[in-house]
Structure 1
Amino acid sequence: MSATALLILLAASVLLVPLFKRFGLGSVLGYLVAGIAVGPDGLGVVSRPESVLHTAELGVTLLMFLIGLELQPSRLWALRRQVFGLGALQMAGVALPAAALAAALGLGWPGAALVGVALAMSSTAYILPLLAERRELTTRFGRETFAILLFQDVSVIPILALLALTGAGGHAPGWPALAALLAVAMTGRPVLATMFRYVARFGGGNRELFAAAALLGAVGIGVGLSSVG
């Protein structure tokens, strides 16, 4: 992305986001509309969306990272019944009927399962900031919504692994990706623990350094897994 395109995108965001917040539509929707306005279907300032894809992915990663910093482990533990109760109920209640309907319309079962799971998913990156803006994260509605989103996020990894193995996503079985995922699950905790002990010992209690180390771990795992598919 050129400096001029970046300047126009920032200007569109500064112009539209306050208006969307003023009318109660949320800042995330304002950013989305700003992106559409400068994209190839709008003003055409950004004619090749793939040129900003990695920047956008990093932005979503940073957003979810900042949200995660505000979550207390005790709160997650208190929501365990809602996560595995409401979350599983929502996933099954949407995915199974949608998959059955897709199969009835002639789609094969692997493809029908993919459609059902896709329709059952929500956008955590959109919903959580919206709840935070409205200060509803601590309400009953906010807690139950967060529990459902958390279950969806946790379910993504095994679902993607199953899709890779069955070829439902249109790709050959992803054994290297599955092996990499297993390696991360087995070695991730000791490696991260070693890194955080190093930061704690030599970082002088710097909170920003801890945040940078956590972000390094999250982005590093993401880059490593994406490199093997």
Structure 2
Amino acid sequence: MTIADIEAVQQTFVDAAVRADKAGFDVIELHGAHGYLLFEFLSPLSNQRTDQYGGSFENRIRFLVEIIRKVRQAWPQQKPLFVRISATDWVEGGWNLDDTVALAKIIYAEGVDLIDCSTGGNDPRQNIPAAPGFQVPFATAVKEQVPGIVTGAVGMITHASQVSDIIGEDKADVVFVARKFLRNPSFVLSTAHELGVYIKWPNQYERGQVKTKYSFF
């Protein structure tokens, strides 16, 4: 990418933020993980540039930081801005947790409200120890080392007890769930039932409840 290309792509992020605001969205997230373009700049494994956007840590994060700065100016201050990061490449010599913490401090100062902590997806040499909750420690580390930042945990979090432990033990501020909703669109209702927490059902489903102590199922 030429510098002109970089500037053009950065402007597309700004334009998207403006459209999202006009469309009524309350939150946006910049996807800087998993080998997508923003993360390709961050990782020394994929970023082989020799100009001001490559080489040193400060240079490799420049593309993302500039986007955040421009988007934050266009996105209403009262609306949260999230950034998703691969907290590690899972490859020696690649992007790692220390890099993530250092980046989190910088982008928090630029107006990012939440770091969505995922991992991997950038290099075929990655060795990912996938297991339930395996990415949670990265969200915890960022939360503990970057005062004020909010963190989100992701990855193989599929049971109510996991969610309860993560939030209850202050390992992260938010749990993001994606594929579980594909398998169980009523995951929120079933989780609340399992934990014994009352939440209101959608009006269209009220008649489907079996009246119990918590008005579930």
Asked if these proteins are the same fold (TM beyond 0.5), I'd say no
Give the structure-1-normalised TM-score.
0.24
Q: Which structure has the larger Rg over C-alpha atoms?
A: 1
Structure with greater proportional helix content: 1
